[in-house]
Amino acid sequence: MTMITRRTLVKGGTAAAAAGALTGPALLDWAKAWAQSAPWKPEKGAQLSMLRWKYFVQSEDDAFVKLMEAFTAATGVKVNISRESYEDVQPKASVAANTGAGPDLFWGLYSLPHLFPQKCMDVSDVADYLGKKYGGWVPSAVTYGKSGNKWIAIPICYSGNLMNYRVAAGAKAGFSKFPATTDEFLAYAKAMKAQGTPGGLAFGHASGDANGWVHWCLWAHGGNAVDAKDKVVINSPETEKALNYAKALYAEMIPGTASWNDSFNNKAFLAGEIHWTNNGISIYAAARRDAKLKEIADDMDHAYMPIGPIGKPTELHLLYPILGMTYTKYPQAVKALMAFMLEADNFNKWLEGSVGYLTHCLNAYDSNPVWTADRKRTVYRDVAKRTLTAGGLGSVGEKAAAAIADFVMVDMFASYATGREDAKGAMKIAERQLQRIYR
């Protein structure tokens, strides 16, 4: 059997061949060897249940299932996997935390573990093990993963929330490349609508897409929910500028975005109804899988979010942290599974299976060829390093997590853009909500 080392697997030039080799018997042989040497030994008779976000890319889930099967074959620990939409993972995790019963692991979004940090296992040993082995964690992952001095979750990956756009329509509207600034972006949106190829951004309760773009817009104009001391500062001239910009942008979008959740823009883009939106790479991945959508796949591309008046990137990308609940009967099995997921022999293959939809939090995986095999994926490679965190200037904790989960920013933008509130009223409502959360 060919000998494959972890060093080989994360080395750019041979990662594809090495990761591809670890299938079937090779993967099982490696998994068994790993289980024998791993620091965590699952408890006798251990079985685990996991609730994770519902996949958007089939090949990602296929690779994930194989990974779980290899873990079971190597350790004897069966892993029962349930999948829910983004919006449903958080409330179910909160119920489990309050009742002390439910899945052993939850894999959700953003600051999920910070909603109930005292109910999350201390997984500092897993984080230290992985960080030392794979080039360290990106700073944003450390912020999300730690509560005080301990790690309460393992940051598995990000999903980049970048601009997806149709190239030919943009060129017809007079744009040879996607706009780099917010002023250019508004002009682009107007030109695209005028020629009958509009775009759209979610103003509904879309946990990923809506939260992603409204926070980008707020921060791009210098607005913030709270300051560095977690004092509520949302009611500001900068926030009003962001709201005015968003309302102007909304006027150039396809009708109906006020009710969009995380799947609406995907469907609209693939149906040819919109020609630009913010999203992960799942639209492109779906178009490449379907021969009927080849024209869209060939014609679309991706770009960073435009830079606003503040003069620097203000993106918010989706972190997927996985946490173990303190009520689990099998803490060693939980830790073993977390570490197993991010070992290079597994993660490289899974990263490639996600075709750019997922981006790593450990620096060693920068060299995975998934980022250069197709240039349309490359912009997603560094989203973990570009992103701000859900707390903005403030802390990432229970309060920031609650503000995200309650769609405070999304509702503020939507209420003004759709005319339900004027700018002062929208800011005042958000201010009251944030003051309750941050009191």
Contact 230, 182 (CB under 8 A): no
Q: Write out pLDDT tens, residues 394-415.
A: 998 889 988 988 999 999 999 9
The type of residue at 386 is R
- Is residue 314 within 8 Å of 90, Cβ to Cβ? no
CATH of domain 162-316+406-437: 3.40.190.10
Cα separation, 56 vs 62, whole angstroms:
11
Q: What is the pTM of this model?
A: 0.85
Residue 291 identity = A
d(CA 286, CA 293): 8
Closest to 341 in 3D by CA, of 122, 133, 64:
64
Measured CA to CA, the distance from residue 121 to residue 338 in angstroms comes to: 12
CA angle (416 as vertex; 412, 419 as ends), nearest 5: 140
> Whose CA is closest to 210, among 417, 370, 427, 439?
417
> Which regions of the chain are under pLDDT 50?
1-21
Contact present, 75 and 83 (Cβ < 8 Å): no
d(CA 213, CA 218): 9
Token pair recorded at residue 20: 């591809």
φ and ψ of 146, to 5 deg: -105, 145
Rounded Cα–Cα distance for residues 60 and 220 (Å): 32
233-291 pLDDT per residue, tens: 999 999 999 999 999 999 999 999 999 998 899 999 999 999 999 999 999 999 999 99
> Domain map of the chain by residue range?
6-157+327-386, 162-316+406-437
Share of the chain above pLDDT 70, in %: 95
Cα 323 from Cα 341, distance rounded (Å): 13
Q: Do domains 6-157+327-386 and 162-316+406-437 have the same CATH topology?
A: yes
Cβ neighbours of residue 193 closer than 8 Å, sequence gap 6 or more: 252, 253
| Per-residue model confidence (pLDDT) at position 226 | 98
Query: Residue 23: its pLDDT value, please?
Result: 55
CATH of 6-157+327-386, one of 3.40.228.10, 3.40.190.10, 3.90.1300.10, 1.10.1200.10: 3.40.190.10
C-alpha 102 chain-centroid distance: 24
Task: Provide the strand spans (E) within 152-270.
Answer: 154-159, 162-166
Neighbours of 101 (CB within 10 A): 10
Give the per-residue pLDDT at 4: 27
